[in-house]
Amino acid sequence: HDDERYHTECETREEAVYIASEEQDGGHIVEAMKPANIKISRYFDGHMFAEEAEERAYEDHGDPEGDVEIFPIKPELRADLEKMVRETMDAWQDKHGLTFTGFQFKASRNQEYIPPKPESN
């Protein structure tokens, strides 16, 4: 087998077996499930946002001779910001019906190798 990967979605095991044995030179089949919906908000980080805001605002508002923060946000307030922004992002994703599933599977089972169909003489 080569290192290439081929994939397709099949409705039944039989369809997957047919494709692996008849249309390909054998292959691995698996029953796999993608996540129902990945919430983009889970990847918003309040601390990283505040750090980036600080860096971006420094040139316009920072003290070139001091080390005074422009946005001195206490950790508990940063956590509240993160919570509120994530809730807003979830509402935005829901409002627009955005479903993100990614490439990787959430779960899989019934993996097996299907050999190629024997050549007939």
Same domain, yes or no: 96 and 108: no
Residue 1 has pLDDT above 80, yes or no: no
Helix, strand, or coil (residue 57): helix
Contacts of 106 (CB under 8 A, 6+ apart): 33, 34, 35
Same domain, yes or no: 44 and 82: yes
DSSP letter for 104, please.
Answer: S
DSSP letter for 116, please.
Answer: P
**Residue 120 CA, distance from chain mean position:** 44
Chain mean pLDDT for the chain: 90
Contact 17, 29 (CB under 8 A): yes
Same domain, yes or no: 86 and 109: no
**Residues 44-62 pLDDT 10s:** 999 999 999 999 999 899 9
Q: Which of 81, 84, 62 is nearest to 73 (CA)?
A: 81
Q: Number of folded domains in the chain?
A: 2
Contact 90, 41 (CB under 8 A): yes
Same domain, yes or no: 44 and 96: yes
Where in the sequence is the domain holding 74, given as residue range(s)? 40-100
What is the pLDDT confidence band of residue 35, given thresholds at 50, 70 and 90?
Answer: confident
Same domain, yes or no: 94 and 68: yes
pTM check: above 0.85: no
Highest mean pLDDT among 33-47, 82-96, 106-120: 82-96
Give me the percent of the chain exceeding a pLDDT of 90: 51
